[in-house]
Structure 1
C-alpha cells in the first residue's frame, strides 16, 4: 500500500487534483503505524486491546485500498480519454477538471481521504497508549509459543515410525559423506507430524550410540542467534556449562572439542533461511571426521534446501490405525479401550479429525484422559481443533508459529482462504482471485501466474480453512456460499447489511464420486471427504457394501446413492448401506426396491437435515419421516406407485410430526390419490402437523383428489398440474372457523390478524396452475404478497356473483400485495364492478 502511495503515477494524479497534501499525510501516518506492526502482531496473542487495534487498522487499510483503486481507475480513464482525443463539442467548451463528473468525483475522494486521515490519527494515538514500540518484540513473544525440546523420549508412546527410523539410521551409518564438512540430513514436515519425535528415536538408537563418538542435541526454534546457538551446541557436546561470551572463542573451543571425532548433532526446529548465517555456524564442524552427521528438523522447504547437502527426508502422517493406537494410549487408562465400546467408537471418530497428525491425536487423547462421560467425548468430536483450550493444547500455537513466518502478502493470501468451507479443494481459480485482489507481488522476471502458483504451493499444508459462523461481521470484505439445488432467499439474509463486501463467491461442493469400475473393484469410502457419492449402486455386491461399514464412518455428512438399472439386490444393498448418525444430507435416486429399509426415517438419523428421494418408482409406501427431529428440507419426486400418503408417513410421534421441516416438495407423483392428515383419526387429533413448514410444493400429481393435512405456518404454497384436486389444504386447524370472504372483508371490519389472533394463516405467496376441478378459492389474507391462478375455472369458485365481487374487493384491500394474476377473472369483472372501479384499478397497477 505504501509503495502504491509513493508511486510516480499516483503522485502525478494527486498533484493535478490537488490532493497530494492529504495523501502525503496519509502516507506519513501509515509509515508511523507500520513501524510497530511486528510488535503488535506478537502482542495480540495475549492482549485483547492490541488485537482490536489491529482489527480496526485492517478495516481502515481496506478503506485506503478502496480509495487508491478509485483514484487509479479515474487516472486511467483520463489517460485513455486523452489518448483517444475525444473531440465532442461539449468537452471542448468545458475544461476536463470542471466537468460535473470529475468535480463530483474529486469532492467525494477528498471527503473520504479526510475521514480516513482522522481515523488513522486516532489509531496512531492509540498505538502510543498501548505501548507499541518500533522494532521491539519480534522475538520475545514468539519464542514462548512452543516448549523447548530435549533428546529424551519414552519410546513406548511412539507408534508407526519404525520404517522412518530405519531409513534415517541407514543414512547416519552409511559411508556417504561431505568433503566440506558433516553430512546434513533435513527432516521436513508439517507442524505436529512428529519430526522431533523421529529425531529423538534416531538419536537414542543403540546402533547410533555405538557409531558416533559424540552426540549433541540443541533446540533452535525461531530465536536464531549465532552466539547463543554456538554456546548451546558446545554445552550439549561437553555436558558442561560455558562462561564464554565471545563468538570467536566459542567456535574455537567447539572446533577443538570436535577434532578427530565422529559426531552427531541434532538441530531441532530450524527457521533461519539465511545461507550466510548457516555457513558461519558450520565453521567449527569442519574439524570433525568426515562421517559426522547433522540432523536438521524444519517445517520449511526453503530451510531444508539451504542447509541440506542430501535430499530432505519428508515425513508423512500416521496411518489411521497407528493414529488410533496413539490416541488410545493417552485417552484411556492403561491404553485399554475395549472395556467401553461406546467411547471407542467416538474415539475413532475423533481420530478421523486428526488426519494422521500425532500431535493432534496426543492432544485430544490427553484432553479426554480417564474421562468416561459420553457427552464430553461427543463435545470434542463435534468441536474444531482451534476451539480447544490453548493452555492445554499445542496445536494452535504450532500453527500460529507457521503463520507468523509467512511474508506479509502471503498472510493475506492465507487469510483469504478462510472464505472457503472446511475441506474445500482449491483449484487454479484461487490464483487468479489472489491476483485480482492484488495480494501477489509483481516481479519483472516472472509472470504473475507463476508467482501466485508458487504461493499456492507454499501454502499446500495449510489450505484447509475454517468454517464460517452464521453471523457475518458488518465490515466483512470477502465471503462465499455453497451452491445448493434449492437455494432460498433466507440463505442470503445475513448479507443484506454488508456494505463493504468486495468478494462474494458461489462455490460448488466437491463430492467423491465412485465410478462403475471402482465400485466393482473395491467399494471403500475415502476418509478425507465429508460428501460421498456412488453412481452405480447396482454394481455393488452385498459383501462389498457390508465391508464398507458406512455406519461407522463418522466423517461422512452427505451421502448420494444412485441406481441406473435392474438388480436383484436393491433392498439388501440399501439396507446394509446404513450411514452413521452424523449424516446431514441423504439423496437416493432410481432405487427400485418396493420398500425402504427401516433405517430411513429411524430416529437414529437424528442429525439429518436434507432428504431427497427421486425416481424410486417401485416403492409402494414412504418411510416414517415425520419422526426425524432435525429434518428441514424434504424433496420427493417420481414415486409413481404410491397412491396414498397416510399415517405411516408421520411415524410414531407423541406431540408433533415433522417438528423442524420447513420445505416440502412432491413432484411427478403420478399415482398419488389421497394425502391424509392426522386430524382425521380421533386418537391422533392432539398431534401437531408440520408446525414449522413454510413452503409446500405439489406439482404434477394428476390423480390427487384430497389434501387433508393442516399447515399452520405456511408462507408459500404452489399447486400445479393437479387436475383432480378439489380443495386446497387447510391453513388453520379444524377448530378455527374459516369464514367466507363476504364475511371476512365487509367494509370496516378488521381481519383476525389485526385483532391479534395468532391462528391467522401467514400465507404470503400462492400459485395455482392447471387445477381444473378446484372449486374453492383462497380467501384474501392480510400478509399476501403474491397471487397467481392460471388455467382454473375461477369464476365458479364461489358460485355467487356477490361473493366474487366481495372477493375482488378483499384482495384490493391488501396493501402488501405486489404480484396479482388470475386468468379468466380479472378481465371478466362481475356485474357492478367496472374496469374503472378503485379495486380493479389498484389490482391492475400491480
Structure 2
C-alpha cells in the first residue's frame, strides 16, 4: 500500500507562505487575506498530520483523507509557484530594459491584471478544498503531536559501518565456498559443456549472498588461484550483449589504454563475442555473476557457450534468490545460504545498535534486543537495519515499539520486503522518507552519486538545511549520509566531494513498496499509468506510447535514467509540454529529436532540463530563455549543438550548466548575468579555445568547474573564479596548466583538484600553492612526463586524499612529506620506481608515509574502482 508524504509537503508549503516574497506579492495583488486564510487552515491540518500517519492503518478512511490532503497541498504549491514565476519575470523585464519585451509582456497571460484575476480564482479554489478536507478530518479524533518527539534522534556522523573485513558470522560460509572453488571439476575439466564449473549461491533477499561472494572474491587465495577475476552484476535484465560488454570491461586493466566505452557500444555481437573470447581464451578465471533472475535456459546456454573458453579450472559463482535458477545454471549442487546463528545475530545487532562496549551499560535494552533479534530470522540486512534504527536511542519505550510493532506479524512477501526494513523506514524523519521514495524511479543495481540525487531533490524542493544557512548541495550529501548510516545504502564510497553508492535489492523493493500511486517506473510491461502519478521514469524504449500517459496535469517529473533509452517522437514531447504544465524535472537524455518545440517556454515551473546525448539537436529556440525558474540545464554530448541559446543570461536562477558546443569562443556577456551559477561543465567541445573572452568582472558564485575532452582549449581564467572549490581537468591536450607564472600566486579556495592526461607537464603548476590552506583532495593521473613533486606540496596542511596514478617518470616524494599530518588516503600506482621506494617497511620513503591511515602502493583493485567512479563523476553527476 502506498505511503503519503503529507507532513513534509505541508511543512514546505507553510515555509513558502511565510516568506517575504509571498507576503509582498499577495499584498500587491490584493490576495493577502486569501493567502493568510489558506495558511491558517494548513497550520491546523499540519498539527494532526503526524497522528494521522501513525493511525492510518487502524482507522478506516484515514488513508483516503491523507491522500486528499496531499493532492490539495501539491495543487496549492503549483498555484503559489505562480507568484515566484511572476516575480522572476519582472526581474528579467526590469534588467533587460527592452521595449519589445515589455510590449510582449503586456499582451501575455503574465500581464499583471490577467495574473491577478487568475491567481485569485485559483487560490480561492484550493482554499475552499482545503477547508472542506480539514472539516472532514475532525471525525477521526486526531491529536496534535510535537514534531521533535516524533522523529528519531540524529546519529553521529562518525558511526563506522561494517566493511568486508568486519562481516560477522560468514567465516564458515566463506571457507566452504572457497573449498568448492579449489576442488577440481567433479565431472572432469575440459569436456564439452562441463568445461567450466558453475557454483550457485542461493537464498532469499537480504541473507548476504552478495556479501559472501565478495568475501570469497577478495580473498588473497583467489588471487593465487585465478590470474583473471571478473565481477558482473546481472540483476533483472539478462541481456546477452550487455553482459558480454560488462565481462569485457571487468576483464580489462584500467592501467592499459583500452577501447572507450563508446566504441564497445558500437560493436555488433559478432565483434563483441570475438573480443570476449580473446580476453578469456586460455585464461584461468573466476567470474562472479551476481543477482541472476533469468529463468530462460536458452539465454543461459547462449552465454555459457561464449565464456567456456577459459583454461582448465575456471570457475563461475552465481548468486540468485531462485532455487530453480540455481539448479538450471549450476554444475555442482547449490550452496544454500542460511541465516546467521543466534549468537552471531545478537553480535551483529548489538554492533549496529550500540557503540563498542556501550551495551554493557544498558542490560535492559539488550534483553529487549534479544527478542527483536529472534524476529529478524537470521537475516543480516534485517539485523543491521533494525539495530541501526535504534543506534544511540536509550528510550525503553522506543525499543519496545520496535519489538512489538505489528509489522513483525506480516508474512514475508514474495518480493522480500522484510517487516524490519519497513519498520526502519517508518521511523525515518518525514523529509528523508519523501526523498527515499525517488529511488523507486531507477532500476535495480543502478549506481548513484550523491550529487545527482541532490540535484534531483533540489529541483523538486525537497531539501531543507537543518542549520539554516547551509549550502543546499551539502544538505543533499547529509541526506545521503543519513540513509547510509541507517543501512539503506551499500557499496558506499566517499570520494571527498561526492558519495557513490547503490541500493540493496531489498531496499529497492522497499522503495517500490512505499512509492505506489505517486511514483512509477514505466517499462514494456506497463499497460496503464495511474491518473494520480506525479513522478514518471521510462526505462525501455518500447513503452513510449502517447496513449499510455495520463491526462492528469499534476505530473512533475519525467526522466529517462537508463543509458540508450530516450524519446524520439516530437509529437509525444509536444503532448507532454501541452499537458503537463507543472513539470519541475524533465530529463530527455538519449533522445534524438532535431528541434525543441517553441512551446517549451510554457513550462514556467521547470527547474531542471537535460538533453544529454542528443546528437541530432543543433540549436535551442529563442523562447527557451523564458524558463526563468530553470536551475539546472544539461547539454552534455549534444555533439551537433552549434551555439548556446541567445539571451542565456535571462536564466537568472540557473545554478548548474553542463555544455557541449561547437563554438570556439564563449564571450563573457553570455555568463555575466548568471549570478546564481554554482557548477559549470564543458565536455567534448573540440572547437573551444577560450572561456569568458572579454571578461571584465568575476563570476563570484561559481564553485565547481569541470573541463573534459576540450582538445583545443588553451587557458583557464582562474583569476575570474575567486570562489572556485572544485576543479577537474581531463584530456585537454593543448591546455597549458602553468599559466600566469609571471604573476604573484593568487590565493584560492579550492578543496578538490583532479588533473589528468597532461602529457607535457613536467611539474605541478605553481598556482596550486595558492590553495595550500584549503585543498583536501588532489588527484594526479597520467602525467607521463612528470618528474618530481614540488617541495611546496608539504604546505597543504588540510590535504586528506592524494592519489598519484600513471606517472612513470616520477621518482621522488617531497623531503618533508611527513608534515602532511591530515593526509588519510594515499594511492601511488603506475609509478614503478616511486612505488618501490614506498613499499611498507623496506622502502626508503616508508618513514615519510607510515603515519597515513590508508596507503595503497601498486594495488589495482582500489584504483580500478576509482577509475570507474571518476569516469561516472565526469559523465553523470557533478
**Shorter-chain TM-score above 0.5:** no
Higher relative contact order (CA 8 A, sep 6+): 2
